[in-house]
């Protein structure tokens, strides 16, 4: 009944037409004042409704989005409401009417119920007079800061044996150090390589899919949203080149033993070209939004976007540019699109940006300010924040970035030679795919993990999880610790693979008040002792001391008699010892 009433209300609303001037955004008005009558401009046209027969669409979700998309949404939405108004297609009759008025369609967005395209001022006046048109705005065109080119000094400082010994089974070559920093090899050794997970890499195309590192890559779909074709490589017939995409894809999914292995080399990939590198304004927001909707429909589970944008192109007056004050999670249309994707169950991973630090405000690039996504900053091999890595927080007070990974002198596939590799360029573009790959590894472990659970697992086990800040968020991720955290969330799943070593998990919840659960796993019966210490190292109490049988165990800590602060939990089992920090907030 609610859906029928909504249609009636929308139909009544359409009867009261707005004047063309009322339907035009202030930015578009300003743009129109500087454009000659015959020149075409790129605009959004948004509609008031989605036509008739909406109940028919609601009753057949499989006719709206794919079955894989519906299955993914079951993790975050009620099974009776897997689709909503934003999923319904744009009414084709409205699009046809615009085209009859001279509108050249570029992209269609069901999420925003509109179309982007080219039109003259006179044609726009005619379109704005149509009763079903709600409003018009410009399609924002962004500039971005290029990756940082630096000497290969950091990689040369790393002392590591490229072929691991002991438990690690893969030959990572020079890529070992960037994976060891975030504990990826440990998950590979447990069998988690992103298998069964679909990842969308959204970038400037892929210039060299023939590179040896992609020989075993599983590609299930490609689309170039700049040139409107399925081919995403470089040629004279299309705009833009994909060297950047070649590098980022190799970092997440490459597989060449002895050279480079990505965290999620076992995943399925869909590749979207959203950026025109030929232009002074390398991306238009409608390309990115169209790509995200396309990926959603296919059934994507993780997206990796190594692109971020803040400054508009020069055709937009400075007073209408996005600024640091716009990074509030609800202003930029790209940011709104990222939030919608996360709400539909997609784990959205985005680079924080390469704008550096400012002590007075954030330096984030949209959509890194979006809530419910994982924003990734960059560190060096030594674990300190890269000088170029954008800092938070968002204007509405949320900590950004969320987590960190290596973005300085990563080892990646050379985009100009099928058998070469490089490490000259740096940027959060490179820490982003490494983190997205870990997200896919966690989903290989448990496909039912939601985007928020994955984000919590990464955050709450990262290097500074007890004291997140605007420079590094919760810190450098730890893939194995995140997996152990996810194991706690997945308790009761009989299909989980048990590790063969002792594990003390991060407490949950953390921070807590006044109780929290401390869980551990032991592969064999052992004498176990758990002590609680204050931050100065003085023992407060012995929480547990007894013989424990093999398996998972959980103990509840009641800290109602303790003061707020950070405490240490020391765990002893056989010859194994580990400590974790816990935070009591009253």
Residues 357-371 pLDDT 10s: 889 888 888 888 889
Q: What is the pTM of this model?
A: 0.78
Q: What local confidence, expressed as pLDDT, does residue 272 receive?
A: 94
Q: What local confidence, expressed as pLDDT, does residue 39 receive?
A: 87
Check: CB of residue 573 under 8 Å from CB of residue 499: no
CATH H-level superfamily of 2-50+89-139: Peptidase S8 propeptide/proteinase inhibitor I9 (3.30.70.80)
CATH topology of domain 503-584: Immunoglobulin-like (2.60.40)
Q: Do β-strands 198-203 and 268-273 pair in parallel, antiparallel, or remain unpaired?
A: parallel
Give the DSSP per-residue string, 109-142: ETTTTEEEEEE-HHHHHHHHTSTTEEEEEE--EE
Q: What local confidence, expressed as pLDDT, does residue 52 receive?
A: 86
Distances, alpha carbon 234 to alpha carbons 273, 278, 415, in Å: 11, 12, 11
Torsion-angle region of residue 35: left (phi > 0), alpha (psi -120 to 50) or beta?
beta
CATH topology of domain 148-489: Rossmann fold (3.40.50)
Indicate the SS3 state at residue 285: helix
Q: What local confidence, expressed as pLDDT, does residue 277 receive?
A: 73
What is the DSSP secondary structure assignment for residue 85, as one 8-state letter?
G
Q: What percent of the chain has pLDDT over 90?
A: 54
Of 431, 10, 494, nearest to 182 by C-alpha is 431
Residues 268-298 pLDDT 10s: 999 999 887 766 555 678 999 999 999 999 9
Q: What local confidence, expressed as pLDDT, does residue 149 receive?
A: 60
Q: What local confidence, expressed as pLDDT, does residue 188 receive?
A: 94
User: Domain coordinates of the chain in residue numbers?
Assistant: 2-50+89-139, 148-489, 503-584
Q: Flag residues of the chain having pLDDT under 50.
A: 1-17, 153-167, 312-314, 492-499
């Amino acid at each position: 009944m609610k859906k029928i009433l909504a249609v009636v209300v929308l139909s009544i609303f359409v009867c009261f037409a707005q004047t063309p001037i009322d339907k035009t955004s202030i930015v578009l008005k300003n743009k129109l004042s500087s454009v000659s009558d015959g020149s075409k401009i790129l605009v959004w046209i948004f509609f008031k409704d989605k036509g008739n027969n909406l109940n028919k669409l609601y009753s057949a979700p499989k006719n709206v989005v794919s079955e894989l998309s519906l299955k993914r949404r079951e993790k975050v939405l009620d099974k009776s409401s897997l689709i909503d108004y934003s999923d319904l297609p744009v009414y084709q009759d409205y699009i046809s009417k615009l085209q009859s008025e001279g509108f050249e369609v570029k992209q269609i967005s069901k999420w925003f119920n509109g179309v982007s395209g080219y039109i003259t001022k006179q044609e726009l006046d005619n379109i704005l007079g149509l009763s079903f048109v709600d409003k018009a705005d410009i399609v924002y065109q962004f500039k971005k800061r290029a990756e940082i080119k630096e000497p290969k000094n950091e990689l040369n400082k790393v002392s590591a044996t490229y072929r691991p010994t002991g438990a690690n089974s893969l030959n990572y070559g020079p890529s070992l150090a960037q994976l060891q920093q975030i504990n990826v090899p440990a998950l590979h050794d447990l069998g988690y390589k992103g298998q069964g997970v679909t990842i969308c890499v959204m970038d400037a195309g892929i210039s060299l899919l023939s590179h040896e590192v992609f020989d075993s890559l599983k590609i299930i779909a490609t689309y170039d949203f700049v040139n409107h074709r399925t081919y995403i490589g470089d040629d004279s017939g299309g705009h833009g080149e994909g060297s950047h995409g070649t590098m980022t894809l190799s970092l997440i999914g490459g597989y060449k033993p002895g050279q480079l292995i990505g965290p999620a080399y076992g995943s399925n990939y869909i590749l979207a070209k959203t950026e025109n590198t030929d232009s002074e304004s390398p991306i238009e927001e409608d390309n990115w939004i169209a790509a995200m909707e396309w990926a959603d429909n296919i059934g994507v589970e993780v997206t990796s976007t190594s692109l971020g944008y803040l400054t508009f192109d020069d055709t937009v007056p400075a007073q209408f540019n996005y600024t640091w004050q716009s990074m509030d999670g609800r202003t930029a249309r790209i940011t709104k699109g990222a939030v919608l994707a996360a709400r539909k169950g997609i784990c959205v991973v985005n680079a924080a940006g390469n704008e550096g630090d400012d002590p007075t405000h954030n330096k984030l690039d949209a959509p890194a300010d979006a809530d419910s996504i994982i924003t990734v900053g960059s560190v060096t091999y030594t674990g300190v924040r890269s000088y170029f890595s954008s800092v938070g927080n968002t204007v509405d007070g949320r900590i950004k970035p969320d987590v960190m990974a290596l973005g300085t002198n990563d080892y990646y596939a050379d985009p100009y030679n099928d058998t070469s590799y490089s490490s000259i360029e740096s940027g959060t573009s490179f820490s982003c795919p490494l983190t997205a790959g870990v997200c896919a590894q966690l989903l290989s472990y448990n496909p039912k993990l939601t985007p928020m659970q994955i984000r919590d697992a990464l955050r709450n086990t990262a290097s500074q999880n007890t004291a997140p800040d605007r420079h590094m968020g919760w810190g450098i991720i730890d893939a194995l610790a995140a997996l152990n955290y996810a194991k706690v969330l997945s308790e009761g799943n009989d299909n989980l693979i048990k590790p063969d070593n002792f594990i003390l998990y991060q407490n949950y919840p953390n921070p807590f008040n006044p109780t929290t659960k401390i869980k551990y796993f032991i592969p064999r019966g052992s004498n176990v002792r758990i002590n609680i210490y204050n931050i100065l190292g003085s023992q407060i109490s012995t929480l547990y001391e007894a013989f424990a049988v093999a398996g998972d165990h959980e103990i509840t800590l009641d800290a109602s008699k303790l003061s707020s602060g950070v405490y240490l939990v020391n765990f002893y089992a056989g010859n194994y010892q580990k400590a974790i920090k816990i935070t009591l907030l009253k």
